[in-house]
Amino acid sequence: MNEMVDEIFSNCKEDLEKAYLHQQNEYLVIRAGRANPHILDKVMVEYYGVPTPIVQMGTVTVSEARILNINVWDASQIKNVEKAISQSDIGITPTDDGKTIRLVFPMLTEERRKEIVKNVKKICEETKVAMRNVRRDALDMLKSMKKDGELSEDEYASSEKEVQKLIDKYTDMADKLAEDKEEEVMKV
């Protein structure tokens, strides 16, 4: 195969990897009844006029299975951190004792677990849509090369099969990741 086809495969694999990593990162912030520091990854605090992630403002630790402790290095910012957490969509009310902010994760109800599983499935489906778009783009480039005479009919057919194999591999990985996350969420 020629260099252009190799480059198409390389770009295709890179884009599939990005979609899969995005899915993994989305699953990190989904809480399953246990304290998970990653739930704070997207929470930004206004720190001297600059939106700053909480992890850059203090230490986040898991003290018990369902309790996160946040020790803010700059004590004058405790109220701002608490306010940012309250205004975020994580659904947990922070409490502070003047030095440490605590997030107590409630036990998940069956209903809430099912909602989370729906969200897990939605994220998986979005990932697979992104992967199908990568396939479409790769096949469009290959068709264009065939049309321009840069690829023979046989080369095009084998390239098309290779792209499909790659897509199948990554969609299977996405499904497995979703299955594992569903299992984690439904475990009582």
Residue 105 scores a pLDDT above 90: no
25 and 43 assigned to the same domain:
no
Q: pTM for the whole thing?
A: 0.73
**For residues 33-67, b (16+ Cβ closer than 10 Å) or e, as one string?**
bebbbebbeebebebeeeebebeebbebeeeeeee
What is the rounded CA–CA span in Å between residue 160 and residue 140? 10
Residue 163 near residue 139, CB atoms below 8 Å: yes
The model's pLDDT over 1-36, given as tens digits with 9 standing for 90+, comes to: 588 889 999 999 999 999 999 999 888 877 666 777
Residue 31 near residue 24, CB atoms below 8 Å: no
17 and 44 assigned to the same domain:
no
Residue 108 scores a pLDDT above 80: no
Give the closest residue to 86 by CA, choosing from 47, 43, 56, 51: 43
CATH number of the domain enclosing 8: 1.10.132.20
**pLDDT at 188 (0 to 100):** 62
More confident residue, 32 or 135: 135
CA–CA distance from 181 to each of 68, 173, 184 (Å)?
21, 12, 5
48 and 9 assigned to the same domain:
no
**pLDDT at 130 (0 to 100):** 96
CA–CA distance from 155 to each of 2, 11, 65 (Å)?
10, 18, 55
What is the rounded CA–CA span in Å between residue 158 and residue 91? 50
179 and 114 assigned to the same domain:
yes
CATH number of the domain enclosing 55: 3.30.1360.40
| Average pLDDT for 122-141 | 95
Question: Number of structural domains, the chain?
Answer: 2
The model's pLDDT over 36-58, given as tens digits with 9 standing for 90+, comes to: 788 888 888 888 888 988 888 88
**Sorting pLDDT into bands at 50, 70 and 90, what band is 165?**
very high
**pLDDT at 173 (0 to 100):** 96
53 and 115 assigned to the same domain:
no
Residue 103 near residue 70, CB atoms below 8 Å: yes
19 and 61 assigned to the same domain:
no
Domain of residue 92, residue span:
37-104
46 and 82 assigned to the same domain:
yes
